[in-house]
Amino acid sequence: VSTQSTWGPSSEKRGPDAMFAPPPFFFPPPPPAYLPQPLAQQAQPAKLTYFPARGLGESIRLTLAEAGVDWVEDPVTTRDQWLALKATLPFGQVPRLEIDGLKLVQSRAIVQYLGRKFGLYGAGPVDAYKIDALLDSLEDVKKDSPMRAVFSGDPDADRKVAEYAEGTLKKYFAVWDRILRANSIPYFVGDRLTIVDLIIYSFIEQIVGLPHPTLNNFLQDYPALLNFMKTVASRPRIAAYMQSNKRHSFPPSPEVMQIFRSIMSPS
């Protein structure tokens, strides 16, 4: 398998550790240069306001965990709480992250803010471009996601999941797998983990975790992508977060689904 970059030559400097050439679908643990940086210094914990579920809040949690940022959860669990909160939000949507004296909204923008602040946005403008291009590809993947159909009880959900898996997922998983094969480490861009790894990881974990037989072992056909998922999950701070009580189950429990239904009820 060629290690020629899918993106073409880069003018950005890469350290000597980035030049090793592992076997195609096996990567050793990242060398010391790729390990997390020292814990971020904070006057007080950040606060994440979201529903008691992974959803759009999960990539934020993963980024906070990787950056070593402490945070507290502020779960939205009742309709009255949601209506009062919604009136204060610029776009009427959660998640919201309170950090650095700011109240940040829009999940992707929040993660991009954290990425720039904590050095998770690549080594320069070329890396940043590649990250943004991959994030745009993820938006294309999510356009037809059957997630809402599955959890809303849509009677046509099984067909929608099967068609989505056979069409959109296979197309983009193949592209992402090819990009990962072309890099010399098991991350998407450059010589280190970036926010695009955490955002795509969160999406894949949830979409292939849907309770549908089409998605069982779906990643087995994409070895580099499967190895990427294992690599991200094994990072020390990510692994610690996944073992903590801040980690929500997926699929959501019946109790959490009842919270969603009561909050989103039109009456």
pLDDT in tens, 81-107: 999 999 999 999 999 999 999 999 999
Q: Is 167's pLDDT higher than 50?
A: yes
35 pLDDT band, cuts 50/70/90, is very low
User: How many Å apart are CA 112 and CA 38, to the nearest integer?
Assistant: 20
Helix/strand/coil for 262? helix
Could you give the maximum distance between any two Cα atoms of the chain, in Å? 61
Instruction: Return d(Cα 72, Cα 15) in angstroms, integer.
Output: 36
Query: Residues 195, 196, 199, CA angle at the centre, nearest 5°?
Result: 85
* pLDDT the model gives residue 6: 56
Distances (CA, A) of 166 to 52, 106, 159, 160, 169: 31, 30, 11, 10, 6
pTM of the model: 0.84
Query: Distances from the Cα of 243 to the Cαs of 65, 173, 234, 248, in angstroms?
Result: 12, 27, 11, 10
pLDDT for the residue 38: 53
Q: Tell me the per-residue pLDDT of 211-234, one tens digit each, with 9 for 90 and over.
A: 889 998 999 999 999 999 999 999
CA triple 197-72-208, angle to 5 deg: 35
Rounded to whole angstroms, the Cα distance separating 58 from 74 reads 14
- The string of pLDDT tens digits covering residues 40-65 is 666 789 999 999 999 999 999 999 99
Per-residue pLDDT tens for 180-197? Answer: 999 989 999 999 999 999
Residue 41 has a pLDDT of 63
User: 2-16, 146-160, 235-249: lowest mean pLDDT where?
Assistant: 2-16
**With contact defined as beta carbons under 8 Å apart, do 61 and 245 qualify?**
no
Residue 14 reports pLDDT greater than 60: no
DSSP 169: I
